[in-house]
Chains A and B, each alone.
Chain A
Amino acid sequence: MSDPILKLEGVFTNIAQYHILQGVDLTVSRGEVTMLLGRNGVGKTTTLRTIIGHWRAHQGRVMFDGQDITKLPTPAIARAGVGFVPEDMGIFADLTVEENMILAAVSGAIDEARLQWLFTVFPALETFWKKDAGTLSGGQKQMLSIARAMIEERALYLIDEPTKGLAPAIITTMARAIKELKDQGASILLVEQNFAVAKALGDSANVMDDGRMAWSGQMSELTQDAELQERLMGLSMEAH
C-alpha cells in the first residue's frame, strides 16, 4: 500500500438534524482505486460530498495530500486537485457537450491531445459534441460526467456510482475509463454498487454501515470471503 493521498480522521457530518457520518476513518492510497461500499443510506455519498466540501464536517479532519481541507470552500478543494463525479452526474443540460467540457477545463483552454484521448475512450462525446447535454441518453450523460472530470489531470477523483442504471456495454466502457485513469497514476475513491466492477477495479475496499466504517482492507481479502461479504453488505458479491 502506497502513502495516503486522502485521509479522513474521525469525521462527523450532520445534515440538518440528521447525524449521517459518525466518526468516519478512511484512507485512499496514492495511485490506487479505493472502493467505498455498503448498503443504500449508510453515508457513502455523504462521505464524498464532505470531502469535496458540499457538506461540512463538524468534527474530525479531512487531509488531502498533506493539507487539511476540512474547512476549505469547494472551489479551493477542486483546484487543489480533486475531481468530483456526483451520483446524479451533474451535467449542465442547457449547455452543449462542448460547453460542458470547456467549462470543466478550469485552467484555460481544453488540452486538444487529452480531448482526442477522451474521444477514444468515449466516442459518443465526439458524435454529440454540439448537442445540448440534456438531449443525451443516460449512458451518454454519464460518459460526459466522467469525461468532464478527466479533461484535466487531477490527483484524486471522487466518483459516485458511475454505473448506476447503465447497460452492460456502457458499464464496460466506464470501467475501462476508470482503469485508464488509474494507469495514468490517478488516485480514485469509487463508490459502486456493481460488485463485478468493484472486484475488477478495486485495490482496497472500505465498507460502511450506519455512518461508520465497518471494515477496511484489501479488495482481494473481501472478494475471497463470502461470509464477510454477507455480514457487511447483506449478500455475497457472487450473488449480485
Chain B
Amino acid sequence: MSAAPKHAPTMAQMSLPERLAPYAPILLVVGLVIAGFVAIPATSSWLTLTVSGLAMGMMIFIMASGLTLVFGLMDVINFGHGAFASVGAFVGVSFLLLLEHMTGAPNLLWNLTALMVAIIGAMAATGLMGYAFERVIVKPVYGHHLKQILVTMGGLIVVEQLIIVLWGPEEIYITRPESLKGAITFAGAALEKYRLVAVGIGLVVFLAMRYTLRRTKIGLIVRAGVENGEMVQALGYNLRMVFIGVFVAGSALAGLGGVLWGLYQEVITAHMGNQTMILVFIVVIIGGLGSVEGCFIGALMVGLLQNYVAFLEPKAALISNIALMVAILMWRPMGMIPVVKAK
C-alpha cells in the first residue's frame, strides 16, 4: 500500500459578506444614519435629529440594559421594569427640586453636581426597591413565565399607585438645570446641550457595563450564567446572589434612565415608565436576550429611526419601530447579537 499523499489543507478566502457578518449590526446603525442623511433635505435638521435620536437611544439603552440581563441570566420576564424608571424619575426630580438653588445657578459644575446627586439618589432608591421586588414578587415565581408576567404587572400597578399616593396624581413639570438649557450651534444645527449630556452618560454606562462584563470576574460569572447557569453553579458560584445583584443593578439602571428620560421630556408622570416599556422590550428583543452590545445597538437604531421617521412621516412614527423589530427578527430570529444558550 502506497503512503498517503501529503495533504496541506487550504482555507477558502471568506467572501466580503461573510467577513462583514459579525459587524452587520453596527453597520446597520451607520447605514441608518446615512439613510437619514439622504432622506432629510437639510443637513442641519439631520444633525439635530441624529443627536436627538442618539440621546433617546442612550436613555432607552440604559433602561433596557438591566432588563436584558435579567431576561438572559435569570430567565425572568419582568413586566414591572417600567416601575423602576417611574420611581427613578420621581426620586430624581425630588432631589432636583430640593437642590433648586444649585440647578437654577448659571454654573455648570453646580448644575452637574445637582444632577449627579439626583442620579445617585434615584439609583439608590430604585436599587433598594429592586431588592425588595426580587425577594417578594419575583422569587416565588422563578421558572413560571406566565406567573411572572401577571405578578410583575401587578407590582407595576401597585408602584404606580404608590407614586400617586406619595407625589399626587398630577404630572410634575421640571426644568433642566440652567447650564443644560438651550442648545449649541454646530454646522448650522442646534444641538440641545441636555441631549449631548444624555449621549455622554449613555456612552459611559455602556462602556462601564462592557468593561465589567468583559474584564471582571463578576462579569464573567454573569456572561457564563446567561449561557449555562447550571454549570456556573457546578463550578462553585452562588448564582442566586448574582441573580439578586443583577436584578438590583438592572433596577438602578432603570432608575437612572427614568431620571434622564424625565428631564428629556421635562415632565414626569406615574405611568411614564410603563409608556417607555414598549420601546424597551423592542430593544431587548432585537438586540438578543442577555446581550448588552445587542441592546446598545438596538437602542440606537430605535432612537434614530423614531426621530427620522417622526420628521419625515409623523403618522408612521408609531409603527416604525414595530416594523424594525419585524425586519430584524426575520433576518436574525434570535436578535442581532444573540447569546448562545446551553440546551
Residue of A nearest to B290 (CB): A94
Partner of A94, one of B227, B234, B235, B239: B227
Query: At the interface, yes or no: B228 with Cβ under 8 Å from chain A?
Result: yes
**CB <8 Å contact, A95 and B223:** yes
Query: At the interface, yes or no: B23 with Cβ under 8 Å from chain A?
Result: no
Q: How many A residues are at the interface, by size bracket?
A: 20 to 34
Provided the pairs A103-B220, A134-B340 are in contact, do residues A93 and B227 lie with their beta carbons within 8 angstroms? Answer: yes
A-B contact count (CB 8 A): 61
Query: At the interface, yes or no: A114 with Cβ under 8 Å from chain B?
Result: no
Binds B, one of A2-10, A16-24, A83-91, A178-186: A83-91
**CB <8 Å contact, B233 and A75:** yes
Instruction: Tell me the complex Cα distance, A118–B233, Å.
Output: 23
User: Per-residue 0/1 for A52-80: is the Cβ within 8 Å of any B Cβ (1 yes, 0 no)?
Assistant: 11100000000000000000011100110
Query: At the interface, yes or no: B107 with Cβ under 8 Å from chain A?
Result: no
Query: At the interface, yes or no: A92 with Cβ under 8 Å from chain B?
Result: yes
Residues of chain B with a CB closer than 8 A to A53's CB = 233
Interface size on B, residues (CB 8 A): 22
Residues of chain A with a CB closer than 8 A to B236's CB = 75, 78-79, 106
Provided the pairs A93-B227, A134-B340 are in contact, do residues A104 and B220 lie with their beta carbons within 8 angstroms? Answer: no
Query: At the interface, yes or no: B221 with Cβ under 8 Å from chain A?
Result: yes
- Determine which residue in B221, B224, B232, B339 has the highest number of CB atoms from chain A within 10 A of its CB, and name it: B224
Provided the pairs A90-B231, A94-B223, A99-B220 are in contact, do residues A75 and B237 lie with their beta carbons within 8 angstroms? Answer: yes
Instruction: Tell me the complex Cα distance, A103–B224, Å.
Output: 9
Instruction: Tell me the complex Cα distance, A74–B235, Å.
Output: 9
**CB <8 Å contact, A78 and B228:** no
Residues of chain A with a CB closer than 8 A to B221's CB = 103
**CB <8 Å contact, A103 and B227:** no
**CB <8 Å contact, A92 and B234:** no
Partner of B340, one of A75, A93, A99, A106: A93
**CB <8 Å contact, B237 and A106:** yes
Query: At the interface, yes or no: A102 with Cβ under 8 Å from chain B?
Result: yes
Q: Which residues of A contact B (CB under 8 A)?
A: 52-54, 73-75, 78-79, 84, 86, 88, 90, 92-95, 99, 102-104, 106, 134, 148
Q: Which residues of B contact A (CB under 8 A)?
A: 217, 220-221, 223-224, 226-228, 230-239, 339-340, 342-343
Chain A to chain B: the 7 pairs with minimum beta-carbon distance, closest first? A78-B236, A90-B231, A74-B233, A106-B236, A92-B224, A84-B234, A79-B236
